[in-house]
A and B are shown apart, each in its own frame.
Chain A
C-alpha cells in the first residue's frame, strides 16, 4: 500500500496543454502514472502525445473516468478548476499552482467541505504526491526516492527532496511523499495526511517537515500524541526568520509572535515527537528509529 496515489490512479490534468503542464504530465506518465486525459477549455478533441484533451472535467469524467486531478492552470483560474474537478466527481485534486489568492482558497475549502465532502484537495502551491514505484503526480523529482516504509509530509518542495535524498542514501525508501504546500490555507493539513499514514500498512515511520507561520504543526503535535502509534520525526524550517517577514511561501510568516519555529519545535517535543535540527539530523533520527545503521557524519 501507500497513500493517495498508486497503480490505481487515473489522472486528468487541468492545464495539460501549457508549457509546464505538458512537461510534467509527460514526466509523470514516463514514471508509470496512468494519465487518462487533460482538461483545457476550448481545446477538447486535441491530444498530448496520445493523451486526450477535454473541454471540461465533466466530459473527461464521462469519457475516461479520472479519480485524480492535477491542477496546473494559472492562479486566477485555479479555484474554479479545483471546484470543477470536484463537482465532476474527482475524489482527489492535487493543485500545483502557486499564487492563488488566499480568499479564493478560503472559498474553495468552504465549498469543498459543504458540497463535495468526499473530495480531498492537496495543495495548492505544492510539489504534488509521489508513491515510489507506483505513481507520481506533480513535480517531485522521483529519482531521489526509492520505495520503502517512510511516509513524508511537507510544506516545502526542495526541503523534502533534501531530506528524502538523505533517507535514500542511508538505504531506506518511502511509501508516499506528500507536499501539502506553502500557502496559508492548504486543502489538506499535516493532520489529514498523518491520519492517512497511520492507516497505511506500508508506512512504518513518518517524517514531517514544517515551517514558520500558522499553527498546523502545533495541531499535528496534538494529533500525533492522541492518534499515532507510528513514530514521527519532525523538522521545522525558519528558526532565524525575523517576525513580520514573508519568507518566500505565502504562508511562511511569523506574525505577532505566533507561528515561530521555536514554538512549533517545543509543541512537538512536548508531545514526544523528536525534532531534528538540520535536515541531516532528521534523516539520522529516522534511520535510527527504523533500526538501520546511522548515517556517517557529514
Chain B
C-alpha cells in the first residue's frame, strides 16, 4: 500500500522525523486558507502516486495569496501520467543548502532490512548508484533490533556528511528506521533529505509503502490508503477483495492464480492484443464470485472482448462454467467471451457451456488458441469455425 507524500510525512512526524509543517487540502479555497495560516512562501504540491510531479507542473512555489489560488486552480484535477490530482499538500517553502538521500527498504535477496544513505540526493537514486556507487552507503540491519545511533552516525560519516551534520543525519536515519520497523513498511524513502542554511536536516519528500498483510497490526493506518487517487474500478475491486489491476488495453482477462493471469496477459499481448486488466479469481469459483468478477471487468468501457483462462486444480472447471452461466443470466454481457477450461473436470465444464449456448461465448482448449480467438474478436474479425 503506497502512501501519498503527506501521509508519509505525517507518519514521519509521528516518529520524530523533522518535516515542514503543512496541510492537505482538496479545494482552491482551502489551499488559500492553509497557505495564509502557514505563512509565505509556500509550496503547492500535487499528491499523486507517481514520480515526475515537478516536471509535469505539479509542484509550484507561491509567494502570495493570488499565486496560491492560481497554482491550486491549475494543479487540482490535473492529470499526471494517468493520475488525477485530487489533493494538494501546502507546506512552508524550505531554503535548501544541500540535498541528501535516505531510505530503508526490504533487501529481498539478502533477506534483511537495508539502509541506504547518500549525500547526493534530489536526483534519481538509480543514477547515483550507476555513476558514483561509492557515494552510496548501504548497510544491512539485524531485523530483530533497531538501527542504533552508533550505526547511524557511522553511516553518516562513511557517506561523507559534513561533521556538524552527522548528528542530524543520524537522528533522521534512526527515526526513518523506526518508521520502517514499527509501521510494517516495505519502503521508507526520503528524497531529498535536505540541509537548510541553518544546518537543520529535514525530510522534504516522503515515499512510504506499507505492507498490506500487516495492516491488522496498525488499525490507525487502515484509513491511509491511496484510494482517493486510485482508479475507480481498482478501488471497487479492493473493497470486494478481488485482485484487480487496470491496464490500458481492450481485452478483459480473468484467470485463477496470479502467475497464470500474468502469463495470460503476456500470451494475449504476444497474439497481438492488449489486455484491459489483470484479475485473479483465486481458488473456488462460485457463481457469485464469477459474477462479481465479470461486472468488474465490464465496468471498464474500453473492454471489447473477455478471456477466461482457467487451469483447474482445486478450482473445478464445471463450477466455473456454472458460475459463468449464472452470471450471464443475471447481467447479459454485450461483448464476446472466450473461455478456456483445462484441468479438473474440464470436459464437463465445456459440455455445460456448450449446452447453455450462451450468446457470443466461445470455448477454447488451450491458452494460445484462446488468446488468438479473443484477439480476433476484440478486433471484430470473428473467430470463424472456432465458435
- Give the interface of A toward B (CB within 8 A): 75-76, 99-104, 106-107, 109-111, 127, 139-141, 143-144, 154-162, 165, 182, 184-185, 189, 209, 211-216, 219, 235, 237-242, 244-252, 255-257, 261, 277-280, 298
Q: A110 is contacted by which of B142, B181, B268 (Cβ under 8 Å)?
A: B142
Task: Contact check, A102 vs B256: say whether CB atoms are below 8 A apart.
Answer: no
Closest CB-CB distance, B108 to chain A, in whole Å?
Answer: 4
Task: Contact check, A162 vs B368: say whether CB atoms are below 8 A apart.
Answer: no
Say if the beta carbon of B344 comes within 8 Å of chain A: yes
Closest CB-CB distance, A217 to chain B, in whole Å?
Answer: 11
With contacts A184-B108, A185-B106 taken as known, whether A238 is within 8 angstroms of B214 at the C-beta atoms is no
Closest chain A residue, CB of each to CB of B182: A103
Report the bound CA distance from A101 to B2 in whole Å: 16
With contacts A101-B211, A144-B343, A156-B260 taken as known, whether A161 is within 8 angstroms of B313 at the C-beta atoms is yes
Residue-wise interface mask of B (245-289) relative to A, using a CB-CB cutoff of 8 A (1 in contact, 0 not):
101000000011111111101111110000100101000000000
Beyond A279-B267, A279-B367, 5 additional contacts (C-beta under 8 Å) are: A101-B217, A141-B343, A247-B258, A247-B278, A298-B369
Say if the beta carbon of B144 comes within 8 Å of chain A: yes
Interface residues of B in 333-357 (CB under 8 A from A): 342-344
Provide the residues of chain A in CB contact with B142, threshold 8 Å.
Answer: 110
With contacts A239-B269, A279-B263 taken as known, whether A107 is within 8 angstroms of B366 at the C-beta atoms is no
With contacts A158-B311, A280-B366 taken as known, whether A143 is within 8 angstroms of B111 at the C-beta atoms is no
Provide the residues of chain A in CB contact with B217, threshold 8 Å.
Answer: 101
Closest chain A residue, CB of each to CB of B283: A139
Q: B266 is contacted by which of A106, A110, A239, A251 (Cβ under 8 Å)?
A: A239
With contacts A101-B217, A185-B108 taken as known, whether A158 is within 8 angstroms of B313 at the C-beta atoms is yes
Q: A154 is contacted by which of B113, B144, B259, B268 (Cβ under 8 Å)?
A: B259
With contacts A144-B343, A158-B256 taken as known, whether A103 is within 8 angstroms of B181 at the C-beta atoms is yes
With contacts A158-B260, A249-B258, A278-B367 taken as known, whether A141 is within 8 angstroms of B181 at the C-beta atoms is no
Closest CB-CB distance, A194 to chain B, in whole Å?
Answer: 15
With contacts A165-B343, A184-B106, A248-B243 taken as known, whether A100 is within 8 angstroms of B213 at the C-beta atoms is yes
Provide the residues of chain B in CB contact with A212, threshold 8 Å.
Answer: 262
